[in-house]
Structure 1
Amino acid sequence: MRAIIAFCLWVTGMPALAQPGIAEMQQARHELVNTYFSAFDCALVLATLFGLFGAVTIYKNWQDGKHHIDAAVSGWFYAAIFVLLSGIFLRALFGI
């Protein structure tokens, strides 16, 4: 009878040992924060590159005599805005 009780206590204590501790959870959060800010910085750089490349392309088209560039302006502008908003959305999604 004692063996059965000892076995039951041992089995019920096993899941508690398998759970990650506070240190592991803090380490995972720290890694997520570091990775997220690297990705957010990358999104800012991409938005800047989209804006600069779009400005150069639009300026070239304007100088070549193509004065109907409304679609190109809106396309490059909205591409940069989309990248910036995706970074903000990820910040809200992960709560960082």
Structure 2
Amino acid sequence: MKKCKRNIVKAAAVCGLLITQTLIARAQDGNAGIQQANTQVRSYFESGTNLMYAIGAIVGLIGAVKVYQKWNAGDQDTSKVAAAWFGSCIFLVVVATIIKSFFGI
């Protein structure tokens, strides 16, 4: 019996809290906040994609040096290393392009 009363009190407290939160949320203008957040996040996409292109260029240069060193050393797995570095550069460029096209920048 006491356990049932405690559960009823807890349920009433939770309902009261939810009603209060709903009233507070309706009192605030949520659309303006969401629009401001949207604008701020979209403003970072151009810089982010440029950063991804720069990282891809640096990774490409490092990969070219690594492949050149392996090629001159006569290693048998030079083509695997070249494919891995080239693939990582392509991946970065493709991801940056997809982000730009997906978000309509």
Q: TM-score, normalised by structure 2?
A: 0.63
Per the alignment, residue 93 of structure 2 pairs with 84
- What SS does structure 1 have at the residue aligned with 2:45? helix
Q: Which runs of 4+ in 1 moved over 4 A?
A: 20-24
- Offset of 1:94 from its aligned partner? 2.0
Tell me, in whole angstroms, the C-alpha distance in 2 between the residues paired with 1:80 and 1:68. Answer: 19
Whether 1:51 and 2:60 are equivalent positions in the alignment is yes
Aligned to 1:19: 29
AA partner of residue 83 (structure 2): S
Offset, 1:24: 7.2
CA deviation after TM superposition for structure 1 residue 19, in Å = 2.3
Unaligned runs of 5+ in 1: 1-13
Of the three residues 65, 70, 82, the one matched with 2:74 is: 65
Equivalent position SS for 1:66: coil
Which whole-Å CA distance do the structure 2 matches of 1:91 and 1:60 have between them?
A: 35
Aligned residues: 82
Unaligned runs of at least 5 residues, structure 2: 1-24
The CA RMSD over aligned residues, in Å, is: 2.5
* 1: CA distance, partners of 2:33 / 2:71: 58
CA displacement, residues 38-96 of structure 1 (integer Å, 9 cap, x when unaligned): 11011001110111000000111111222541101110011000001111121233222
- Report deviation, 1:31: 1.9
Separation of aligned partners in 1, 2:50 and 2:57: 11
